Chains A and B, each alone.
Chain A
Amino acid sequence: MDIIPQLIVNSIIAGAIYTMVALGFNLIYGTVKFFDLGYGAIAAVGGYSVFYFYKILNLDLSLSILLGILISGLVGYIVYRLVYAPLRKRKSSGMVLIVAALGVMTALQAVVAILFTSQFQTLSQNAGTERVFSILGGVITQTQLIILILGLVIMAIIGLVFKFTLFGKAVKAVGDDEEVSKIVGIDTVKIIGWVFFIGSAIAGLAGILVGFDTGIEPTMGLSLLLKGVIAAIIGGIGNVYGGVLGAFLLGFIENFGIWKISGEWKDAIAFGVLIIFLLWRPQGILKR
């Protein structure tokens, strides 16, 4: 059997998921300049919200997804207001914020596990009978195709918003210099709040899509997040298109890396790539 086309397709699918996580992460990092690790748990929040509405309450699919995205965004916003905003106001160091974010991640994950048990669940009703398409000689499911398209659409929207709207410019300004933006009359707390809401909503969406593609478990966020962070860093942190480039690059390296060895090594490969980049090209492929 010819394996290379399927490897390429798998790489693209992985890249599409990482793209989404990296986009949300980059948005937040580019504005507030710290590694928001709690962001990972938000993906699980999104996935489980849909699980609750769609599978337990049997609500309409699109309504459930919409609610899931809103809840993820809201949780991200609340965490920002309760934890990060006071810390940032006090000018805490990046390390304090990382430790607080680790706390957020641990606590959120565990809360999800208490509510829904730590069992692996799948969101799709028709697992295994999904429509499949074949591209380039490889197989891709409908969900995976949606992931790919959504990833690119979100990238385009973020790129356009940054370029053409007042909001995008304000976000950029806050990212460049928070003090000065405050002086020229930008409501930084409000802008950063929105950034957290949007970034977390994207994370939630990523969690939901992964849930439809493979499945959800409370600890899913950490590995998703780490992949997103790695993609963002190797692509050029804070750069919208760099994150996308990094995500696809990571997808390819991971999937081709496990060509001859067991798939369990994926995480190790991803971090190996991260460390190599941090050592030799810490600014990533595209500079901000």
Chain B
Amino acid sequence: MEYLIHIAILISIYAILGLSLNLIVGYTGLLSITQAAFYGIGAYVTAILLTATGMNFFISVMLGVIITGVLSLAIGFVLSKFKDDYYALGSFGFNVIIYSIFLNWQSLTRGPLGIPGIPRPSMFGFTFSENIWFLVLSAAIALIIFGICEYITHSSFGRVLKAIREDEGAIRVFGYHTIWYKLSIFVIGAMMASVAGALFASYITFIDPSTFTLTESIFILAIIILGGLANNKGAMLGAFCLILLPEVLRFVGFPDDIAAQMRQVTYGLILILLMLYRPQGLLGEYKL
């Protein structure tokens, strides 16, 4: 039971990540491979504030969201100068740079040692120390974010995003400043990822830089590509499948080391096969 709750918590955290990246990649058509960086910033801000100042979890989440917002605004601004392949490559670059900062700014992040002893969230004297309660919290936040995504994508703002994805030149002719739309959705997506990071940090109670590498960004991308681009339910479905799949592999009886690598092989194969046979994923409404 405890094990199932653990899986469910992970699914809800990755669902948030998937939803956030889907706004950027699926709805707006910007192939960003840097979501793990924002996920990491959220995690580190929360971890540092909670361990150093004993601040309330929810306030630290807010601060993390604000800090991520400011940073992603700057990163998004630089990235907005690039197109397609170069956009992907540039976003790669920011992931590597931010990972280096986690690793090397040792006075703040303790570098490769990581930050242990991050407390669980508490509210009005109630601490979410039991996993079942943490699941309630993370699932609730995932649902709220799902609601926000549905709202955004069904609003007129969301329609402009889709129009940018289909034909940026044409929508510009109608007088839309596409750069502001692209920037806003990039920042919104980054902020959501930061919330997921805060949840992750306080759930695992320990973080180190190795969680927030390029591989993680590729994994998040795999989630939304499998689930389906430009479909919020697809992002959640993708998280569900890709978190569950390696657990199935574990039951097949591979040793731990091999199981971890088998997982990578499966992710890789899923990406290749999807691109070959079903580029829109399971529920997708948009092909890259």
User: Which residues of A are interface residues toward B (Cβ below 8 A)?
Assistant: 34-35, 83, 86-87, 92-100, 102-111, 113-114, 117-118, 222, 226, 229, 233, 262, 264-265, 267-268, 271-272, 274-275, 278-279, 282
Give the A-B pair count, Cβ closer than 8 A.
Answer: 129
Knowing A103-B271, A229-B89, say if A114 contacts B84 (CB, 8 Å): no
- In the complex, what residues of B have CB within 8 A of residue A104's CB? 268, 272
- The contact sample of 14 A-B pairs, CB cut-off 8 A, is A92-B288, A98-B85, A99-B288, A100-B272, A102-B221, A103-B267, A113-B261, A114-B258, A114-B262, A118-B257, A226-B96, A264-B100, A268-B104, A278-B81
Knowing A98-B88, A226-B92, A271-B96, say if A110 contacts B275 (CB, 8 Å): no
- In the complex, what residues of B have CB within 8 A of residue A102's CB? 33, 218, 221, 268, 271
A272 touches B275 (CB 8 A): no
**Minimum CB–CB distance for B231 against chain A, Å:** 17
Among B31, B104, B268, the residue within 8 A (CB) of A95 is: B31
Among B92, B101, B265, B276, the residue within 8 A (CB) of A107 is: B265
A99 touches B100 (CB 8 A): no
Distance, CA A92 to CA B218, complexed state (A): 20
B101 touches A268 (CB 8 A): yes
Closest to B30 in A: A95
B272 touches A114 (CB 8 A): no
Other contacts beyond A107-B272, A110-B262, A278-B86: 5, CB < 8 A: A95-B31, A96-B275, A100-B276, A278-B82, A282-B86
Residue B225 interfacial (CB < 8 Å): yes
- In the complex, what residues of A have CB within 8 A of residue B81's CB? 278-279
Knowing A100-B272, A271-B96, say if A109 contacts B264 (CB, 8 Å): yes
**Minimum CB–CB distance for B186 against chain A, Å:** 16
Residue B270 interfacial (CB < 8 Å): yes
Distance, CA A198 to CA B104, complexed state (A): 38
- In the complex, what residues of B have CB within 8 A of residue A98's CB? 31, 85, 88
- In the complex, what residues of B have CB within 8 A of residue A34's CB? 85
B94 touches A106 (CB 8 A): no
Distance, CA A110 to CA B93, complexed state (A): 22
**Minimum CB–CB distance for A108 against chain B, Å:** 7
B261 touches A114 (CB 8 A): yes
User: Which residues of B are interface residues toward A (Cβ below 8 A)?
Assistant: 31, 33, 78, 81-82, 84-86, 88-90, 92-94, 96-97, 100-101, 103-104, 214-215, 218, 221-222, 225, 257-258, 261-265, 267-272, 275-276, 279, 287-288
Distance, CA A107 to CA B265, complexed state (A): 4
Distance, CA A181 to CA B32, complexed state (A): 34
Distance, CA A93 to CA B215, complexed state (A): 23
- In the complex, what residues of B have CB within 8 A of residue A275's CB? 78, 90, 93-94
A110 touches B268 (CB 8 A): yes
Closest to B254 in A: A114
Closest to B89 in A: A35
A99 touches B265 (CB 8 A): no
Distance, CA A265 to CA B225, complexed state (A): 32
Among A95, A271, A278, the residue within 8 A (CB) of B97 is: A271
Distance, CA A265 to CA B103, complexed state (A): 9
**Minimum CB–CB distance for B18 against chain A, Å:** 15
Knowing A107-B265, A118-B261, say if A100 contacts B96 (CB, 8 Å): no
- In the complex, what residues of A have CB within 8 A of residue B276's CB? 83, 86-87, 100
Closest to A266 in B: B100
Closest to B93 in A: A271
Distance, CA A118 to CA B256, complexed state (A): 13
Distance, CA A94 to CA B267, complexed state (A): 20
Among B92, B222, B257, B275, the residue within 8 A (CB) of A92 is: B275
Distance, CA A229 to CA B287, complexed state (A): 26
| Interchain residue pairs A-B with the least CB separation, the first 10 | A107-B268, A103-B271, A110-B264, A106-B268, A271-B93, A268-B100, A100-B275, A103-B272, A110-B261, A95-B288
Distance, CA A267 to CA B90, complexed state (A): 13
**Minimum CB–CB distance for A29 against chain B, Å:** 10
Among A99, A222, A268, the residue within 8 A (CB) of B271 is: A99
- In the complex, what residues of A have CB within 8 A of residue B82's CB? 278
Among A99, A107, A262, the residue within 8 A (CB) of B275 is: A99
Closest to A218 in B: B261
- In the complex, what residues of A have CB within 8 A of residue B268's CB? 102-108, 110
- In the complex, what residues of A have CB within 8 A of residue B288's CB? 92-93, 95-96, 99
Distance, CA A264 to CA B39, complexed state (A): 22
Distance, CA A106 to CA B85, complexed state (A): 18
- In the complex, what residues of B have CB within 8 A of residue A272's CB? 93, 97
**Minimum CB–CB distance for B162 against chain A, Å:** 16
**Minimum CB–CB distance for B239 against chain A, Å:** 18
Distance, CA A200 to CA B269, complexed state (A): 20
